[in-house]
Structure 1
Amino acid sequence: MGKAMKSAAVIQNKAAYHRGRVDGFPLGWKDGHWFGRCESVVRRATPVPVKRPLHVLYVTSGKGFPYSPLDHGIVETLKTVAERVTLVVPDEDVLKVATKVRPDMMLVLDGMHMAPEKVQAVNALGVRTAIWFTDDPYYTDITAGIAVHYHHVFTLEKNCLSFYAERGCPRVSYLPLGVFPVDYRPRNTPFELRGEISFIGTAYWNRVTLFDQLMPLLAHRRLHLSGLWWDRLAEYERWKGIIDLGKWMEPGETSERYNANKIVINSHRAHDDGTFNQNRAMITAVSPNPRTFEISASATMQLTDYREDIAQFYIPGQEIVTYDSPEDLAAKTDYYLEHEEERQEIALRGLYRTLRDHTFVSRLNQIMDLTMNG
């Protein structure tokens, strides 16, 4: 290469560097300012865990993914709020472990792989036993027979309180799952992942109906879907380019996707969907799903379908936004994408409320209080 060509190349590189610096500086400043605001909220809202003089025997769900991240989050949080934690899986000799370590209480997640006779044997030791159901009301045909063996039952669905009480459970409490903020938190996501709107979840039929109507209304927006069975969409071939079909992400990757978009849609599963549903009692669902807390913990504005009990956890219009139809959802999406400051304020208020009230620290403190004092 001659001197003239080298000089031209140097000039071009310098020009490209200058353009990149000029174009990148506003984006970098904007990102830095946003994450500084998020960090301020995190520091103000996150409670300091206090260890209680309790020994908790924790029995995992035994189901593997996607329950294993829940088990991990609960165990790691228990270590910060209980003096001692012993971990077992359902197919271990739980009675032998309990006899040896003599815990104050035993907490079981989900319980479908935990034999009832093991629970009864631990009860006979004088250990307080508690179970936290993660999928109510969708498997109540099964959980009805499990719940009666425990000293205290915790359900994430308010409408299941009377269901369990009527079946002889002496102590039943309403307790949604909440969030593990190590997994779900504000993140500086790669630029190539960024978009405007996303939904992550399985394509149950009520969600298919929603998105069949919604996607043409949002065709002018950058939308991303991810999850199982989205080829159920009537016009799947038209939309498949924006769908990660069959993808089931780990919590960190899910949170990264939430962070990458300005708005995340939440659509709750229908109580009478025929897919993997064992709810012959037809218990309706009025309580927020775990995704409600996970989205808000990721500092992203959430647009969710209305559930009767959601106002107990977030103030609609201030900490979360609800919709009542595909048209309403599309109109609110357009509005908040065009009013960025208002959208960001809602996201920050949702983040604050989540970290203050709805983490596993808060939930496990309630479980320990109610199990040991109830």
Structure 2
Amino acid sequence: MKIIYVASPSLKNAHRIDQGLISAFQEEGIEVFSLRLLPHCQSELFNIIEEKDPDFIFCLFMKAEWDGFFSFFDNVSIPTIAWFYEDPHTIDYSKRHIHYFHFVFSSEKNAVPFYRELGHQSTFYLPHAFDPSLYFYEQHDKSIYQSDLCLVGDADEKRVSYIRYLYEHSDWKITVVGRGWTEALKDVKPSPRMQRVNYWVPARVARLFYSNSRIVLNLPYSNKRKTENEANIPCDSPSPSLFEIAGCKAFQIAERKKGINEQFHSAKTIVQVNSKEECLAIASHYMNEHDKRKLMAEAAYNEVICRHTYRQRMKNLLIAFAKTQ
């Protein structure tokens, strides 16, 4: 099988995902012709289609400058497939483009019936996953990576509320990593107990924080999302970080979501909480239970490495596509 992989040039975060998905297709024996969404790429696409006769065109669909590209799809006869990766947070944008694709896969289960109601019946659920070549356990001796509890992600109202509460009600060393934390915690006096890394970090650094923290707090980013989800589609499916943290064999406490239990054989594999008060109680229980944390982290790792990698997701996509042919 041969495919064309069209990647967006404007999204830095998408580049590492593109590389992981291309590798996943190749591991399944697929010949991949990749190109970036640039002004001249339409002629390049026509040439590849004419010379290579690919089976379909694949796009990792995130909010970007796609509009000028879609007129090309009207002139091709091969199937087009998109993985809508940011649902439901940018669904107001995504819903305007579903009919450009023959097959739509959404990372949010609740988006599937929504798209079908809009007339796109070939819509399927394909949850997030992770790249095991980027997220894996890596021990490090530097103190910057070691903490009792860490959170990797930009500051937002919910995250700040949790971190403030945990800091005020414990004696733990807490590390927060991401943009906005210095400003958000500017009234917190400098202390060895509160470490702020006030910038975005790539996967190779994030995994060091995950791997060397007793507990990783996993709260999906929430600011400025409702404005692009007018239909208020619930976000019940797991975020990518759930699988990435588990891939590092880290013990995590995650915000409760309906879709998490659906992805794991045991509901106890991932600890979930509804509030900062519950988070404090759960974290206090597990903080000094090294063996319990290790067993649960290994159980989560065993699940994600077998069932929730990019390769497994692309395999499921290929199976779904084959059933339609």
The question of a shared fold, defined as TM-score above 0.5 by the shorter chain, is answered with yes
Matched, 1:140 2:91: yes
User: Shift of the alpha carbon at 1:208?
Assistant: 2.5
- Match of 1:333, as an amino acid? A
Partner of 1:77: 24
Query: Tell me, what secondary structure is at the counterpart of 2:228?
Result: coil
Residue by residue, what CA displacement relative to the aligned partner does 1:33-76 show, whole Å, maximum 9, x if unpaired? xxxxxxxxxxxxxxxxxxxxx11211113233211111111112
* RMSD (Å), alpha carbons: 2.2
Which structure shows the higher helix fraction? 1
Q: Percent identity?
A: 20
Partner of 1:265: 217
Residues 201/315 of structure 1: CA separation in 2 closer, same or farther (3 Å cut): farther
Residues 114/81 of structure 1: CA separation in 2 closer, same or farther (3 Å cut): farther
Question: Given that residues 85 and 107 in structure 2 are in contact (C-alpha distance below 8 angstroms), is that contact kept between their aligned partners in structure 1?
Answer: yes
Question: Given that residues 130 and 151 in structure 1 are in contact (C-alpha distance below 8 angstroms), is that contact kept between their aligned partners in structure 2?
Answer: yes
Matched, 1:211 2:193: no
Query: Tell me, what secondary structure is at the counterpart of 1:318?
Result: coil
Distance 2:298 2:133 in 1: 17
Partner of 1:349: 299
User: Shift of the alpha carbon at 1:122?
Assistant: 4.4
Partner of 2:274: 324
Matched, 1:305 2:288: no
Partner of 2:34: 87
1:7-156 equivalent positions in 2, closer than 5 A:
54-91=1-38, 92-93=41-42, 94-110=45-61, 112-113=63-64, 115=66, 118-119=69-70, 121-122=72-73, 124-156=75-107
Question: Given that residues 25 and 32 in structure 2 are in contact (C-alpha distance below 8 angstroms), is that contact kept between their aligned partners in structure 1?
Answer: yes
Residues 222/111 of structure 1: CA separation in 2 closer, same or farther (3 Å cut): closer
Distance 1:98 1:238 in 2: 61
Match of 1:188 among 124, 132, 139: 139
Matched, 1:225 2:176: yes
Query: Tell me, what secondary structure is at the counterpart of 1:350?
Result: helix
> Larger Rg: 1 or 2?
1
Residues 125/294 of structure 1: CA separation in 2 closer, same or farther (3 Å cut): same
- TM-score between the two structures when normalised by the length of structure 2: 0.90
Question: Given that residues 261 and 267 in structure 2 are in contact (C-alpha distance below 8 angstroms), is that contact kept between their aligned partners in structure 1?
Answer: no
- TM-score between the two structures when normalised by the length of structure 1: 0.79
Query: Tell me, what secondary structure is at the counterpart of 1:181?
Result: coil
Distance 2:66 2:273 in 1: 42
Residues 224/336 of structure 1: CA separation in 2 closer, same or farther (3 Å cut): same
Residues 277/231 of structure 1: CA separation in 2 closer, same or farther (3 Å cut): farther
Match of 1:283 among 214, 230, 233: 233
Q: Kindly tell me the number of residue pairs found equivalent between the two proteins.
A: 317
Unpaired runs of 5+ residues, structure 1, are 1-53
Distance 1:115 1:341 in 2: 49
Residues 73/276 of structure 1: CA separation in 2 closer, same or farther (3 Å cut): farther
Distance 1:113 1:100 in 2: 28
Distance 2:235 2:63 in 1: 21
User: Shift of the alpha carbon at 1:302?
Assistant: 1.0
Matched, 1:175 2:126: yes
Distance 1:278 1:300 in 2: 32
